[in-house]
Amino acid sequence: MSETGFRRASLFLCMLMVCAMLAACGSGNGSSDKVNGNNAAADGDAQAKDKAAESKLGKKETITLMVGNTGTTLEALKVVAAEAEKELNIAVEWDIKPDGVEGDNVVKTRLATGDMADLLVYNSGALLQAINPEQNFADLTNEPYMDSILDTFKQVVTVNGKIFGVPVGSSSAGAILYNKKVYADLGLAVPKTWEAFMANNEKIKAAGKTAVITSYKDTWTSQLFVLADYYNVQAQVPKFAEDYTNNKTKYATTPAALRGFEKTEEVFKAGYMNKDFLATTYDAALKMLAEAKGAHYPMLTSALDAINQNYPEAINDIGVFAQPGDSADKNGLTVWMPGGLYINKESKKLDAAKKWVEYFISIEGQTVLSSALKAAGPYVVKGVELPEDTYAGVKEMQPYFDEGGTAPALEFISPIKGPNLSNITVEVGSGISSAKKGAEDYDKDVIKQAQQLDLPGW
Instruction: For residue 219, tell me if it sits in a domain.
Output: yes
Note the pTM of the prediction, 2 decimals. Answer: 0.81
Contact at 8 Å (CB) between 319 and 178?
yes
Contacts of 288 (CB under 8 A, 6+ apart): 210, 213, 274, 280, 294, 297
Residues 6 or more apart whose Cβ sits within 8 Å of residue 282: 215, 217, 218, 221, 303
What is the count of structural domains for the chain? 2
- Residue 403 within any structural domain of the chain: no
Shared domain for 200 and 107, answered yes or no, is: no
Instruction: Give residue 380's pLDDT.
Output: 95
CA gap 19, 8 in Å, rounded: 17
Residue 59 pLDDT level (bands cut at 50, 70, 90): confident
Give yes or no for a contact between 181 and 295, defined as CB atoms under 8 angstroms apart.
no
229 with 156, same domain: the answer is no
Q: Assign 56 a pLDDT band (cuts: 50, 70, 90).
A: low
- Which of the residue ranges 46-50, 67-71, 128-132 has the most confident prediction, judged by mean pLDDT? 128-132
Quote the Cα angle for 361-379-139, to 5°.
Answer: 40
| 8 A C-beta contact, residue 449 and residue 267 | no
Residue at 129 is within a domain: yes
Question: Is 12 contained in some domain?
Answer: no
Question: Looking at the structure, do residues 196 and 331 belong to the same domain, yes or no?
Answer: yes
Angle between helical axes of 71-88 and 350-361 (0-180°, round to 10): 110
Q: Are residues 388 and 325 in the same domain?
A: no
**For range 151-156, the mean pLDDT:** 93
The model's pLDDT over 299-320, given as tens digits with 9 standing for 90+, comes to 999 999 999 999 999 999 999 9
Question: What average pLDDT does this structure show over 117-135?
Answer: 94
Q: φ and ψ at 416, to 5 degrees?
A: -95, 120
pLDDT higher than threshold 70 for residue 25: no
Asked whether residue 332 falls in the same domain as residue 442, the answer is yes
Q: Are residues 242 and 194 in the same domain?
A: yes
Query: Average pLDDT for residues 1-27, to the nearest whole number?
Result: 41
**Whole-angstrom distance, CA of residue 231 vs CA of residue 335:** 8
Q: In this structure, is residue 52 part of a structural domain? A: no
Instruction: Answer yes or no: is pLDDT of 18 > 50.
Output: no
30 or 457, greater pLDDT: 457
Domain membership flag for residue 23: no
Task: Name the average pLDDT for the chain.
Answer: 90
Domain that holds residue 83: 60-170+338-392
Q: What is the pLDDT of residue 213?
A: 98
Give the least confident one: 50-54, 149-153, 346-350: 50-54
pLDDT digits (tens, 9 = 90+) for 155-198: 999 999 999 999 999 999 999 999 999 999 999 999 999 999 99
- Do 315 and 438 lie in a common domain? yes
Write the single-letter amino acid at 332.
G
How far apart CA 437 and CA 428 sit, in angstroms, is 8
pLDDT at 217 over 90: yes
User: Cα 423–428–433 angle (5° rounding)?
Assistant: 100
Domain identity same for 178 and 161: no
- Residue 13 domain-assigned (yes or no): no
**More confident site: 104 or 203:** 203
Residue 423 lies inside a defined structural domain of this protein: yes
Cα-flanking dihedrals φ and ψ of residue 108, to 5°? -65, -40
Report the alpha-carbon distance of residue 165 to residue 168 in Å, rounded.
Answer: 9
Q: Are residues 143 and 204 in the same domain?
A: no
| 42 compared with 347, residue with greater pLDDT | 347
CATH (domain of 75) = 3.40.190.10
**Residues 194 and 294 placed together within one structural domain of the fold:** yes
**DSSP alpha helices (H): ranges in 346-446?**
350-361, 363-372, 392-402, 410-413, 421-429, 435-445
pLDDT-wise least confident of 92-96, 125-129, 258-262: 125-129
Nearest residue to 210 (alpha-carbon basis) of 222, 218, 202: 202
Q: Is residue 455 within 8 Å of 248, Cβ to Cβ?
A: no
Do both 434 and 298 map to the same domain?
yes
pLDDT at residue number 235: 97
Helices (H), 254-361: 255-269, 282-290, 303-310, 350-361
Residue 381 bridge partners (DSSP): 149
Residues 280 and 152 both lie in one domain:
no
- b vs e for 10-43, b when ≥16 Cβ sit within 10 Å of the residue's Cβ? eeeeeeeeeeeeeeeeeeeeeeeeeeeeeeeeee
